[in-house]
Amino acid sequence: QVQLVESGGGLVQPGGSLRLSCEASKSIFERYTMAWYRQFPGKARGWVAKINPAESTDYTDSVKGRFTISRNDAEGTMYLQMNNLQPADTAVYYCNTVPSELNWGQGTQVTVSS
């Protein structure tokens, strides 16, 4: 099974930006809608951005206009550009299919704090 590897998280001040990466595979992108999910402490994971095989995208309301999902099929990598980050965005971020059918990766921690 494809192993998902997330990276790019870190500590950033409010208003800052981060770009997350998800290593997957081109074959997965061609067959599945992919999403970035995030998990707040003590809460279940929820999706924040989705991209389907035709590269149509969707976002949860709280990140619209700030986050951009994209992918590079040749590299088998999906990205999440996050701008104007706020403390409420602090979470562990994961990638997976929609619905989630692959084993979860380790995620990448995003912390927004001054």
Q: How many angstroms separate the CA atoms of 3 and 24, rounded?
A: 7
Residue 30, pLDDT score: 85
Averaged over successive runs of 10 residues, the pLDDT of the chain (114 residues) comes to 92 98 88 96 95 96 98 93 98 96 95 97
Task: Give Rg (Cα) of the chain.
Answer: 13
- Concatenating the DSSP letter of every residue in 62-90 gives GGTTTEEEEEETTTTEEEEEE-S--GGG-
